[in-house]
Amino acid sequence: MPLHRSFDYLLPTELCSRAVAVGVRVSVPFGSRVLTGMVLKVKASTEMPEDKVKAVKAVLDSTAIIDDSHLQLLQFTARYYHYPLGETVFTALPKALREGADIDKTSINYLQLTEQGQQQPTLRAKKQQALLKQLAESGKSPTTEIKALGYSKATIDALINKELISQAVEFDSQWREQPLQVASKPRLNSEQAIACTTINQSPGFAAFLLEGVTGSGKTEVYLQCLEEVLQQGKQALVLVPEIGLTPQTVNRFRRRFPNTPIMLWHSALTDNERLQTWRFCQKGSCAIVIGTRSAIFMPFLRLGMIIVDEEHDASFKQQDTLRYHARDLAAYRAQQQNIPLVLGSATPALETLNRALSDKYQLLSLTQRAQTSSDNQFELIDIKGQHLEAGLSHSALAYIKRELARQKQVMVFLNRRGFSPSLICHECGWLSDCSRCSTSATYHKAMRRLVCHHCGEQSAPPMQCPDCGSTQINPVGLGTEQLQEALSEQFPDTPISRIDRDSTRRKGSLEEELAAINRGGARLLVGTQMLAKGHHFADVSLVIILDVDAGLYSCDFRATEHLAQLVTQVAGRAGRSGEPGTVLLQTHFPEHPLLQDLVNNGYQHFARYALQERHETEMPPFSHLALLRAEAHDLSLLLRFLSDLVPAAPVPKIQLLGPIPAPLERVAGKYRYQLHIQGQDRGALHGFLAQLMNYLGSNKLAQKVRWNLDVDPIDM
Ligand code: ADP
Ligand code: ZN
Ligand code: ZN
């Protein structure tokens, strides 16, 4: 369990000559180990008994590695999420710094075209030619990014030998002194222009919700806002969802600002690259950082704007240890730095929309697709009592035939991988449950394995029923693997691309599949979430969503919001090449008011209606939630632990619910229960949580169960 406190150390006289200040790292003894710590306060005395205070072993930095405002951000984060400050600081630092690395020792190698290379001479070696083209598009790029795109050291060395490309170790840190180069750009339409002007004219802190469907030109607005920020010599942070950080996105930024240092921040960087990127930002030699969630903790010399693209995306919320939401911290940071915050989405989170509708944020709408003006056609297919073929109704199959005949592509979306979610014995009803979790193990036919998607346990599918010995064991339910198999029987002449976590496990296989799709021509696309976001498929004219019903009746109050976002995002894959696409939703509940609203009036209308419903039921954002989750092998111990936390007398403005079982009551052999803590206002909630954390610090049971606190949880 993380320690919720800081520790006092003595500074030995021989180290006193070093300027020990807040933000400097030190080596300290801790128990029997030596750890890296950070100075949070310099005090003349301590309340600790003198013989108990240990001495600092070494001072690692000559000056603070983070400044006051950065420390404030981390202090706020620790307070808000009730997470230990020490752990928060170290979560936010690059690993190399946590391990005591010298802050200025690392370097990053870059590749760039030489003057000769810029002429793009024709080469016999295809890979070399491709790399020249790549560098023309991306500009000066870190060598590791280029290698990640599949270019070998041999290819790179060959071009260096031909003096067509060269290596550099520093980006031009003088970017501020040179005139900003801006590549040609489209003229903004009037909605975009209004958005851009409003954002750029904001004098200090202001938050904007840029609400616009996919393709309505949000990214173009970001780019033109960034131009203004760069003109003023300021830096910018662009947060994107994990799945959105593609070479296409990044190239678009680099192409627009060819002499501006733009760096990426994501989980695939090496420790060395992380440290260097972090340091470049801090020194101001990097102008724009495009990064996933944790980039919110990057230090900047002069931050001028924060942009959060697809702000509703769940990947902005960290789901373990420090459970922060990068978008929410972005709001704090923009306020702290007194700069604009731009949140963009086609399907804004209800929290964000509520702030926009109540005038805390400014709402900027882009209502037209920038290049085409086609709107997708939605249709609900009632599957009650219908015969389904591979999960598809007759009318859905007829639609597919029609589109394939027109050489179009059809996307079938099913958020369940594997062949079937379970195996069942036809004689006695035995189900292939996971032995360690309260869920079934998924049947993966190609692998011939039963796999639990929650704990990872695998076993061979039984030849005979373990209970009755019958050999009649059949798959129940539909996963993408089975869907692919069934569709290939229905449409034997049509190529099928399946995109899910199993089919794309091999490195490079996703890129190959996407390339095949983009070559065009009749094709079936089958996939999960992975298919829903970001990718641009020009030839998809029909999208079919198979399983909308689960989201309609769920115990999670956010399920309908997430369903509506998913449907809208998936639907956004259709009709991107000019003509309107068709979106079919198969459901047993075609009359359901949510579906009706979504299909007839779109997400924006649905979201406003859903907000009203949240208001009436006093759910977030009209109240504030925290979840205390706990797990243990021993159920009675677990229940005793949680029950003990519920105060005997009611607490004003606080509602406690629990202990109640988590949606999956048992995972990997452990029971999981939780307390819902709901506060009428943030102050009341945080006051209560602080007391709770204090109490947990001295609670004996708290050391025997695993627990965590999730403030503003996004799944229940
Ligand atoms: P979003 O980020 O909302 O999905 P983009 O900014 O990517 O939208 O725009 C979609 C497409 O339209 C891109 O190819 C972009 O270059 C183009 N585009 C955006 N704004 C304009 C404009 N004002 N004029 C012409 N093309 C535009
Ligand atoms: Zn049986
Ligand atoms: Zn399991």
Which residue segments constitute the domains of the chain, with CATH numbers given? 13-68+81-99 (3.40.1440.60), 107-171 (1.10.10), 190-365 (3.40.50.300), 377-419+476-601 (3.40.50.300), 624-711 (3.30.70.600)
Q: What is the pLDDT of residues 216-228, one digit of tens each?
A: 899 999 999 999 9
Beta bridge partners of 412: 526, 544
Residue of 688, 672, 563, 562 lying closest to 625 (CA atoms): 688
Q: What is the pLDDT of residues 154-174, one digit of tens each?
A: 999 999 999 999 988 766 567
Q: What is the pLDDT of residue 377?
A: 87
Q: Return the structure tokens found at 353.
A: 């929309």
| Binding site as annotated, residues | 425, 428, 434, 437, 452, 455, 465, 468
pLDDT computed for residue 10 by the predictor? 85
Q: Is the C-beta atom of 219 inside 6 A of ligand 1?
A: yes
**pLDDT value for 373:** 44
Q: Is it the case that residue 343 has pLDDT exceeding 90?
A: yes
CA distance 141 to 68: 32
Which ligand is located closest to the Cα atom of residue 468?
A: 2
- How many A from CA of 244 to the centre of ligand 2? 46
Mean pLDDT of the region 393-420: 94
Please choose, from the candidates 516, 523, 574, 517, the residue with its C-alpha nearest in 3D space to the C-alpha of residue 545.
Answer: 574
Q: How far is the CA of 433 from the centre of ligand 3 (A)?
A: 8
pLDDT at 457: 93
Q: Is the pLDDT of residue 360 over 70?
A: yes
| Beta carbon of 679 within 6 Å of any ligand 1 atom | no
Higher-pLDDT residue of 142 and 303 is 303
Above 60 in pLDDT, residue 425? Answer: yes
Ligand 1 lined by 214 (C-beta under 6 Å) = yes
Over residues 458-486, mean pLDDT = 95
Task: Report which ligand 1 atom has the smallest distance to the Cα of 346.
Answer: 3
In the three-class reduction of DSSP (H, G, I as helix; E, B as strand; rest coil), residue 216 is classed as: coil
**Ligand 2 centre and the CA of 471: distance in Å?**
8
Q: Is the CB of 244 under 6 A from ligand 1?
A: no
105-134 in b/e form (b: 16+ CB < 10 A) is ebebebbbbeeebeeeeebeeebbbebbeb
pTM: 0.90
Q: What is the CA(399)–ligand 1 centre distance, in A?
A: 30
Beta bridge partners of 709: 628
User: How far apart, in whole angstroms, are the C-alpha atoms of residue 307 and residue 208?
Assistant: 10
**Mean local confidence (pLDDT), 301-317:** 96
Distance CA 288, CA 306 (A): 10
Instruction: Considering every ligand atom shown, identify the ligand nearest to the alpha carbon of residue 665 and give its number.
Output: 3
Residue 310 near ligand 1, beta carbon < 6 Å: no
Residue nearest to atom 5 of ligand 1 (CA): 217
Handedness of CA 14, 16, 18, 20 (dihedral sign): positive
CB of 220 sitting under 6 A from ligand 1:
yes
Residue ranges of E strands in 323-419: 340-345, 362-366, 377-382, 409-413
- Section 697-710 average pLDDT: 89
Q: For residue range 600-650, what is the model confidence (pLDDT) as tens digits?
A: 988 989 999 999 999 999 999 999 999 999 999 999 999 999 999 998 889
More confident residue, 150 or 381: 381
Determine the residue of 246, 371, 536 to mutate for testing ligand 1's pocket, defined as the one with the most ligand atoms within 8 A of the Cβ atom. 371
Question: What is the pLDDT, as a whole number, of residue 172?
Answer: 59
Query: Cα(152)–Cα(127) distance, rounded to whole angstroms?
Result: 9
Query: Ligand 1 in contact with 284 (CB < 6 A)?
Result: no
Highest mean pLDDT among 268-282, 354-368, 519-533: 354-368
189 in contact with ligand 1, CB cutoff 6 A: yes
Ligand 1 and 221: CB distance under 6 A? no
Rounded to 5 degrees, φ, ψ at 514 are -65, -40
For ligand 2, an ion, list residues with CB under 5 A.
425, 427-428, 430, 465, 467-468, 470
- Percent of the chain scoring above 70 in pLDDT: 96
Question: Which of the residue ranges 42-51, 426-435, 558-567 would you say has the lowest mean pLDDT?
Answer: 42-51
What is the pLDDT of the chain when averaged over all its residues?
Answer: 90
- Of 537, 536, 500, residue with least CA distance to 244: 536
Give the orientation angle of helix 153-161 with respect to helix 126-138, to 10 degrees.
Answer: 80
Known binding residues for Zn(2+) are 425, 428, 434, 437, 452, 455, 465, 468
Choice among 143-157, 438-452, 685-699 with the minimum mean pLDDT: 143-157
Q: Is the CB of 216 under 6 A from ligand 1?
A: yes
Q: What is the pLDDT of residues 101-126, one digit of tens each?
A: 888 766 667 888 999 999 989 999 98
Mean pLDDT of 399-416: 94
Centre of ligand 2 to C-alpha 461, Å, is 13
Nearest CA to ligand 1 atom 27: 370
- Dist. CA 664 → ligand 2 center (Å): 25
User: Is residue 694 in contact with ligand 1, taking CB distance under 6 Å?
Assistant: no
Ion ligand 3 — residues with CB < 5 Å:
434, 436-437, 452, 454-455, 457
How sure is the predictor about 534, in pLDDT bands with cuts at 50, 70 and 90? low
Helix ranges (H only) for 238-380 are 247-256, 271-283, 326-337, 350-357
pLDDT at 72: 96
pLDDT given for residue 371 in this prediction: 56
Alpha-carbon distance of 372 to 356, in angstroms, equals 27
| Residue 472 CA, ligand 3 centroid: distance in Å | 24
Cβ of 192 closer than 6 Å to ligand 1, yes or no, is yes
Instruction: Please answer whether residues 381 and 543 qualify as being in contact, where contact means their C-beta atoms are separated by less than 8 angstroms.
Output: no
Which of these, 601, 534, 188, lies nearest to 370 by C-alpha position?
Answer: 188
The pLDDT of 462-468, averaged and rounded, is: 95
CA 433 to centroid of ligand 2, rounded, Å: 13
Per-residue pLDDT at 692 = 94
Ligand nearest to the backbone CA of 456: 3
Determine contact, residues 229/305, Cβ cutoff 8 Å: yes
What ligand 1 atom has the least distance to the C-alpha of 366? 3
Check residue 1 and give its pLDDT: 43
- d(CA 78, ligand 2 centre) in Å: 53
State the ligand closest to the CA atom of 450. Answer: 3
The verdict on the CB of residue 577 being under 6 Å from ligand 1 is no
Supply the pLDDT for residue 158: 93
Token pair of 430, please? 């035995």
Identify the residue with better confidence: 296 or 152.
296
DSSP string, 10-51: B--GGGTTS---TT-EEEEEETTEEEEEE-----S--SS-GG
Among 51-55, 300-304, 631-635, whose mean pLDDT is lowest?
A: 51-55
Residue 139 confidence (pLDDT): 80
Atom from ligand 1 closest to the CA of residue 213: 3
Residue with CA at minimum distance from ligand 1 atom 16: 220
Residue nearest to atom 19 of ligand 1 (CA): 217
State which of 220, 222, 307, 569 you would mutate to test the pocket of ligand 1, scoring each by most atoms of that ligand within 8 A of its C-beta.
220
Residue type present at position 616: E
